Structure 1
Amino acid sequence: MTEQNNDVTEDDGAGKRKLLKILLMVIGLLLVIGLSVGLTLFLTRGWTNQPVDPELMGIEAVRGPAHYMALSPEFIVTYEVNSRQRFLKADIAIRTRDQRALDVLTQHMPLVRNNIIQTLSERDFSDLQTDAGREELVQSITEAVQGVMETLTGQPGIESVLFTNYVIQ
């Protein structure tokens, strides 16, 4: 009987050693994970109260809520293409973060609409049919409206011009 008890005691010691190894491996793994998360948060300033400069992160600083102004009525421009009449119908909205800019735009809307129509009329109809041409048109209209705003207020005043409807026929 004494031999049997010795075998059981040796098995319990080996089992405890295996359990201890597994427990130490799990604790070591948790320690490595914790250190990597902590180091990542430290390096990215994830847990500091210090604000991160948005421009350093490549993000444009938000100056306030966006305001939108839909220009009504829609813009309709005709084009002569191969002796055929073609049309562009565009609903346009203006985005700004400055309420005063919207007030100036409202006051000088005839001038703004005139410059937009001139910009639309100067385009070649085939360019308006491509995505690149439409993006270039948005940029040109934005610059035209910003030009009016700079003349009136000394600042661009608006962020961008958006098409809310764009139909060519």
Structure 2
Amino acid sequence: MVDDGQTGEVVDTPPERKSRKLPVIAVSAVLLLALGIGGYAWQSGQSVPAGAGKSTPKVVGVELYLPLDPAFVVNFRDAESLRYLQVGVTLMSHDPAAIEVAKAADPVIRDALVALFSNQDFTIISDAAGRQKLQGEALAAVRKIVRARLGRPGIDALYFTSFVMQ
């Protein structure tokens, strides 16, 4: 039975369409955030100095000093006579672990420096260039000892706090 008020026509209503605005905005925000973080990480990586290698970590901080007391007193022969050298030495580092290793290895460091100082020639160390060379050799000797125990040089500088020749 067909009702007179109803027509036999079937109307297809389109399915309800979901809004795509919210997923597009969410994906765009995540992409923008990822690009921002990536740009920041890339820029931070660019600010590392070219000479800073990853193999030697440097601890930047306060300068720590370790005076090697008492001062070194050695004798050595000159062409004319027996000479004496008294050298006060202080080590400097930014790494507290390196200072502790140097304190523990004090007898080994002192032995190496006494051997180095006693094998010097008076004419060479009597001028500034000779003293600077000796200072570099002393620093290399101390770094070698600290590196053997710590795994890295650790000591940044070696200073002569007194230098007396007679």
Q: TM-score, normalised by structure 2?
A: 0.64
CA drift of 1:120 comes to: 1.0
The answer on 1:85 being equivalent to 2:87 is no
Q: Residues of 2 paired with 1:156 and 1:141: CA distance? A: 13
Which residue identity is paired with 1:154?
G
CA drift of 1:162 comes to: 0.1
Deviations 1:98-154 (A, max 9, x none): 111111111111001001111112221111101110000010000000000111111
Runs of 4+ in structure 1 deviating by more than 6 angstroms, as ranges, are: none
- 1:98-109 map, 5 Å: 98-109=95-106
- Cα RMSD after superposing both structures: 2.1
CA drift of 1:82 comes to: 2.5
CA drift of 1:54 comes to: 7.2
Sequence identity percentage: 28
> Residue 55 of structure 1 corresponds to which residue in structure 2?
49
How many residues are treated as equivalent by the alignment?
117
> Residue 109 of structure 2 corresponds to which residue in structure 1?
112
Q: TM-score, normalised by structure 1?
A: 0.63
Q: Structure 1: any 5+ residue segments left out of the alignment?
A: 1-49
Q: Which has the higher helix share?
A: 1
Higher relative contact order (CA 8 A, sep 6+): 2
Q: Is the 8 A contact 2:72 2:86 kept in 1?
A: yes
